[in-house]
């Protein structure tokens, strides 16, 4: 009971103002919980019954359903279409559905024993009615009837059914209004900036929502999660340095632009493949520019200053890296563009050693690992393993170099696990973080009321230690909610993979998600002394333009794997299961 009363107590006892703040403090985590739960139910609740895109009729009259856009045909057990005949290779062929609804078949391990209508092919188009022969086993590709297609389309779960994204966004809007109400009270001198900034945020999210409605797209949960995290990030900015709110918003604008452009490019694979080439070149140029013009901040030469603007090239290279690594199944199994990816990885690894950015090296390593893991799923790939070991070596070298040459990095590693023994020096950042988390309690001290704001900027409280900053002012519950939101997106990516159109999207989404998650792990664990501090940002929340833009870019890959009926603008509209796009 007394604990409850304490909840409403302010510095002058229980007053009208203290009750007002208490109600706000309580409302925010509850609203956040609703927002996360509604998004989760919508993203995770869809049924994922296998869809049939075509049939393969065997000579015996048996009908085999083709349930993916990319299908591995072979004798091995985890092939998509298992053909248990002695004459069929373990990995025999890949049957791929194209964007235009047509099909191709590619020889991957048949050693010339693949024929279409009696002609030996390595890779060729297949039309409905064509006879395909795998090592003598004959089958005919047959279309799905219009009626079947319609039935499938109808039984597919529509995005947002039962959990309207509009309502979730409305909840988020209420959340943001309450944030503003609290902030203008505690930061009266910056009232106008705060009002304008949140106004722009609100305007942007609703404009995007309406824009997607106009494109007849119904899913907005992924964006809602991003805007939810951004609302917290902007609140941290308002508390730490209101002047930087506009900078964050500009970064958000650019980020959303990247998100939209990338999303549209990902709509069809041919465009995506072309963009990939450009992106790969852009990545190279960015890192080269970094090495030539880069400036050293805290030991890592990972910043470029350009006419008043500063940015971290490595943030953007993440996107390029994923584009370079993603690939369609026939290319994976025929090992096309494997070498370009390997060379690209080696190049990035080399750049990171020169730039001496241990945090980024760790993130790229996880990104690489995610891609390599997926790419080697059909073939254990010796080359990727070798490159993986190489990347790990890069990581260790980067860490070793950093520790050797930069006392602050050495301090971080030396202080790790012993922060309380040297709380004014090596353990300063983490001990202050834990003190502030403890001070915040479950509901926080109120936005703008914390102490972490005095450690913003050089002390990195609004970037590397943002988990503690949020805990102190917004409460531990809210900080945990940010984690839930990200973990939920991770679960969504995994569930979507089973109904993915192409391995290109699966690899892209999985790698992007892995990067976002590992950033969160490094950020949060570094703050609470589970790992040494690596100076990595928390996605969408930490203050930092480049990081925010890159997060929006990564989000496009996640958006592109949303194959619920007409959910994502990054997927072409279709009203029928197997019909034309």
Residue 562 corresponds to which tokens in the numbers above?
């949303």
- Pick out residues in 387-426 that bind other proteins (CB under 8 A): 420, 423-424
Based on the shown chain and the rule CB under 8 A, indicate whether residue 65 belongs to the binding site for other proteins. no
**Host H or E run for residue 424:** none
Is residue 462 a contact partner of residue 237, using CB atoms and an 8 Å limit? Answer: yes
Based on the shown chain and the rule CB under 8 A, indicate whether residue 311 belongs to the binding site for other proteins. no
Q: Which of 520, 534, 537, 568 binds other proteins (CB under 8 A)?
A: 520
Q: Whole-number minimum distance, CB 58 to other proteins, in Å?
A: 20
Q: Which is nearer to other proteins, 255 or 444 (CB)?
A: 444
- Pick out residues in 530-549 that bind other proteins (CB under 8 A): 530
Q: Which of 116, 470, 518, 554 binds other proteins (CB under 8 A)?
A: 518
Q: Which is nearer to other proteins, 71 or 302 (CB)?
A: 71
Based on the shown chain and the rule CB under 8 A, indicate whether residue 517 belongs to the binding site for other proteins. yes
Q: How does strand 295-297 pair with strand 103-107?
A: unpaired
Radius of gyration over every alpha carbon of the chain, rounded to an integer in angstroms: 26
77-105 as b/e, with b when 16 or more CB fall inside 10 Å? eebbbebeeeebbebbbbbbbebeeebbb
Q: Whole-number minimum distance, CB 311 to other proteins, in Å?
A: 26
- Pick out residues in 433-472 that bind other proteins (CB under 8 A): 434-446, 451, 454
Between CA 393 and CA 388 the distance in angstroms is: 9
From the list 170-178, 275-283, 368-376, 570-578, the region that binds other proteins by CB under 8 A is: 368-376
Based on the shown chain and the rule CB under 8 A, indicate whether residue 266 belongs to the binding site for other proteins. no
Based on the shown chain and the rule CB under 8 A, indicate whether residue 369 belongs to the binding site for other proteins. yes
**HSE-up (13 A, CA, CB side) for residue 163:** 22
Alpha helices in 336-465 (DSSP H): 338-355, 358-375, 382-405, 407-415, 428-440
- Pick out residues in 470-489 that bind other proteins (CB under 8 A): 475-476, 480, 483-484, 486-487
Based on the shown chain and the rule CB under 8 A, indicate whether residue 525 belongs to the binding site for other proteins. yes
Q: Which is nearer to other proteins, 256 or 366 (CB)?
A: 366
Based on the shown chain and the rule CB under 8 A, indicate whether residue 507 belongs to the binding site for other proteins. yes
Q: Which of 58, 373, 383, 392 binds other proteins (CB under 8 A)?
A: 373
Q: Whole-number minimum distance, CB 357 to other proteins, in Å?
A: 20
Q: Which is nearer to other proteins, 95 or 141 (CB)?
A: 95
Q: Whole-number minimum distance, CB 64 to other proteins, in Å?
A: 14
- The torsion angle over the Cα atoms of residues 27, 29, 33 and 35, rounded to 10 degrees, is 70
From the list 71-79, 129-137, 176-184, 401-409, the region that binds other proteins by CB under 8 A is: 71-79
Based on the shown chain and the rule CB under 8 A, indicate whether residue 510 belongs to the binding site for other proteins. yes
User: What angle separates helix 191-214 from helix 221-240, to the nearest 10 degrees?
Assistant: 170
Between CA 198 and CA 247 the distance in angstroms is: 13
Based on the shown chain and the rule CB under 8 A, indicate whether residue 66 belongs to the binding site for other proteins. no
Q: Which is nearer to other proteins, 366 or 395 (CB)?
A: 366
Q: Whole-number minimum distance, CB 162 to other proteins, in Å?
A: 24
List Cβ neighbours of 274 (8 Å cut-off, separation of 6 or more).
none
Based on the shown chain and the rule CB under 8 A, indicate whether residue 105 belongs to the binding site for other proteins. no
Contact pattern from residue 316 through residue 335 relative to other proteins, giving x for each residue in contact according to CB under 8 A and a dash for the rest: -------------x------
Between CA 465 and CA 527 the distance in angstroms is: 5
Total binding residues toward other proteins, as defined by CB under 8 A: 71
Q: How does strand 63-66 pair with strand 54-58?
A: antiparallel
Neighbours of 188 (CB within 10 A): 10
- Pick out residues in 2-21 that bind other proteins (CB under 8 A): 2-3, 6-7, 9, 11
Between CA 303 and CA 208 the distance in angstroms is: 31
Q: Whole-number minimum distance, CB 136 to other proteins, in Å?
A: 25
Q: Output the CA–CA distances (angstroms, integers) from residue 577 to 152, 166, 493, 505, 563, in the order listed.
A: 6, 26, 21, 19, 11
Between CA 179 and CA 188 the distance in angstroms is: 14
Q: Whole-number minimum distance, CB 89 to other proteins, in Å?
A: 16
Q: How does strand 137-143 pair with strand 295-297?
A: unpaired
Q: Which of 262, 513, 549, 555 binds other proteins (CB under 8 A)?
A: 513
- Pick out residues in 118-147 that bind other proteins (CB under 8 A): none
Q: Which is nearer to other proteins, 403 or 499 (CB)?
A: 499
Is residue 431 a contact partner of residue 528, using CB atoms and an 8 Å limit? Answer: no
Residue (of 336, 361, 350, 325) closest to 507 by Cα position: 325
């Amino acid at each position: 009971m007394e604990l409850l009363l304490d909840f409403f107590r302010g510095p002058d006892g229980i007053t009208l103002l203290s009750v007002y703040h208490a109600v706000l403090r309580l409302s925010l985590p509850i609203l956040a919980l609703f927002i996360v739960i509604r998004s989760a139910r919508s993203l995770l609740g869809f049924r994922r019954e296998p869809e049939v895109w075509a049939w393969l009729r065997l000579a015996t009259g048996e009908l085999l359903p083709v349930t993916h856009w990319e299908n591995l045909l072979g004798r091995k057990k985890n092939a998509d279409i298992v053909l248990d005949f002695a004459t069929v290779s373990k990995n025999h062929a890949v049957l791929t559905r194209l964007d235009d609804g047509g099909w191709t078949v590619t020889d991957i391990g048949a050693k010339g024993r693949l024929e279409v209508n009696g002609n030996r092919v390595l890779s060729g188009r297949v039309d409905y009615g064509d006879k395909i022969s795998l090592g003598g086993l004959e089958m005919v590709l047959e279309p799905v009837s219009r009626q079947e297609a319609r039935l499938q389309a109808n039984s597919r779960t529509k995005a947002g059914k039962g959990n309207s994204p509009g309502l979730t966004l409305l909840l988020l809007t209420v959340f943001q209004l309450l944030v503003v109400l609290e902030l203008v009270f505690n930061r009266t001198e910056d009232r106008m900036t705060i009002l304008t900034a949140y106004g722009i945020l609100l305007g942007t999210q609703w404009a995007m929502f309406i824009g997607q409605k106009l494109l007849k797209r119904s899913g907005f949960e992924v964006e809602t999660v991003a805007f939810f995290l951004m609302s917290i990030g902007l609140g941290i900015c308002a508390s730490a340095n209101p002047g930087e709110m506009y900078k964050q918003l500009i970064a958000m604008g650019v980020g959303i632009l990247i998100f939209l452009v990338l999303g549209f490019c990902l709509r069809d694979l041919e465009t995506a493949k072309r963009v990939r080439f450009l992106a790969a070149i852009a990545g190279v140029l960015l890192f080269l520019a970094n090495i030539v013009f880069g400036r050293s901040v805290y030991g890592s030469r990972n910043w470029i200053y350009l006419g008043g603007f500063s940015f971290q090239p490595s943030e953007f290279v993440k996107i390029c890296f994923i584009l370079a690594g993603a690939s369609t199944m026939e290319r994976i199994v025929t090992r096309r563009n494997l070498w370009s990816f390997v060379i690209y990885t080696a190049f990035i690894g080399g750049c990171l050693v020169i730039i001496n950015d241990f945090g980024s090296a760790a993130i790229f390593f996880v990104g690489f690992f995610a891609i390599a893991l997926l790419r080697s799923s059909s073939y254990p790939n010796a080359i990727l393993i070798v490159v993986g070991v190489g990347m790990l070596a890069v990581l260790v070298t980067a860490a070793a170099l950093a520790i050797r040459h930069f006392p602050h990095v050495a301090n971080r590693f030396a202080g790790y696990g012993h922060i309380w023994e040297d709380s004014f020096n090596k353990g300063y950042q983490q001990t202050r973080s834990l003190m502030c988390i403890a001070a915040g309690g479950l509901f926080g001290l109120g936005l703008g009321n914390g102490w972490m704001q005095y450690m913003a900027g050089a002390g990195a409280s609004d970037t590397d230690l943002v988990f503690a900053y949020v805990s102190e002012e917004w409460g531990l519950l809210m900080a945990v909610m940010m984690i839930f939101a990200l973990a939920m997106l991770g679960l969504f990516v995994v569930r979507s993979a089973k109904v993915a159109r192409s391995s290109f999207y699966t690899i892209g989404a999985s790698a992007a998600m892995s990067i976002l998650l590992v950033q969160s792990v490094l950020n949060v664990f570094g703050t609470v002394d589970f790992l040494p501090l690596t100076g990595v940002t928390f996605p969408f929340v930490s203050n930092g333009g480049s990081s925010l833009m890159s997060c929006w870019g990564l989000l496009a890959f996640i958006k592109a794997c949303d194959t619920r009926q007409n959910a994502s603008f990054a997927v072409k509209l279709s009203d029928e299961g197997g019909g034309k796009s």
